[in-house]
Amino acid sequence: MPNVLLLGGTTEASALAQALAEAQIPATLSYMGRVERPKAQPVPVRIGGFGGVAGLRDYIRQHAVTHVVDATHPFAAQMSTNAVNACADTGTPLIALTRPAWQPGPGDDWQRVADIPAAVAALAGPARHVMLAIGRMHIHEFAPQPHHRYLLRLVDEPKETPPLPDHVVVVDRGPFSTQADIALMRAHKIDLVVSKNAGGTGSVSKLEAARALGLPVLMIDRPSLPPRHDVHAIAEVLTWLKA
Ligand SMILES: NC(=O)c1ccc[n+]([C@@H]2O[C@H](COP(=O)([O-])OP(=O)(O)OC[C@H]3O[C@@H](n4cnc5c(N)ncnc54)[C@H](OP(=O)(O)O)[C@@H]3O)[C@@H](O)[C@H]2O)c1
């Protein structure tokens, strides 16, 4: 019988947890624990970092984990790299459940940048009304561009005031709709959207809204990761587990 460690923190991980519970495959869902009030889950949950690669190796051994599924966010590069290394060290099969990256389509006006520092650099220039839709973690990195008005959409109320003199916080964990995002962008007179290339459907509405309003998007590319077995569908994870 498998004993799955599911690295989560995403909509996809929660959906996989549900599928594993329904298939009666024993699994533990792991969160970093940054979000307050995490969603109730149908499988046991553990919370907190493992303590790097060595900690994850210990966890895998101590809990007799047979399979690791990495369903973390595509920007959680440290966790994903640790999982590749700890699984290699312990001989534990690893699969990643990922979302294909978003691609620009007709009507999109994207400027792609390699990472967050490049996005910050690209914001030099005249003051704008910027929707900074990148989560809480990296907001402080935009402090060198204080002259914009920033709209920050966050899952939780920030504990510290963001270091951006002119900002508005909207607390919402979604799911979001295109119509609501169009209304939000209009209400805040947004003229630029900054986004990570997260992929998936959970937060694509801001891109659809930007397209509908003819707004440019500064799109931050994903970090690179070590090679690993990567699938996009829950059914493929279940097939892999049963093989
Ligand atoms: N980055 C994003 O944009 C984003 C967006 C939505 C959700 N998330 C979720 O938020 C979490 C943290 O993201 P991040 O970008 O800060 O990750 P990260 O930089 O790759 O991870 C930093 C450290 O946090 C711990 N960690 C991360 N994910 C964990 C998990 N699922 N279970 C246990 N420990 C975990 C690990 O600590 P140790 O080294 O001590 O094990 C890891 O080394 C992830 O679970 C991710 O799926 C991230």
CA 110 to chain centre: 20
Site to substitute for ligand 1 among 6, 28, 79, 153, most atoms within 8 A of C-beta = 79
Which pLDDT does position 174 carry in this prediction? 81
What is residue 35's predicted lDDT score, i.e. its pLDDT?
Answer: 75
CA 183, 184, 185, 189 dihedral sign is positive
Would you give the distance in Å from CA 138 to the centre of its chain? 13
| Tens-digit pLDDT string for the chain (243 aa) | 899 999 999 989 999 999 999 999 999 999 998 877 778 899 999 999 999 999 999 999 999 999 999 999 999 999 999 999 999 999 999 999 999 999 999 999 999 999 999 999 999 999 999 999 998 899 999 999 999 999 999 988 998 999 999 999 999 988 899 999 999 999 999 999 999 999 988 889 999 999 999 999 999 999 999 999 999 999 999 999 999
State the pLDDT at residue 37. 75
Peptide bond into 216 cis (omega under 30): no
Residues at CB less than 6 angstroms from ligand 1: 7-10, 30-32, 34, 49-52, 55-56, 72-73, 75-79, 82, 135, 137, 196
Ligand 1 atom having least distance to the Cα of 134: 3
The Cα–Cα gap between 82 and 54 comes to: 9
pLDDT score, position 105 = 94
Q: Which residues touch 235 (CB under 8 Å, ≥6 apart)?
A: none
Q: How far is the CA of 196 from the centre of ligand 1 (A)?
A: 15
One-letter identity of residue 198 = A
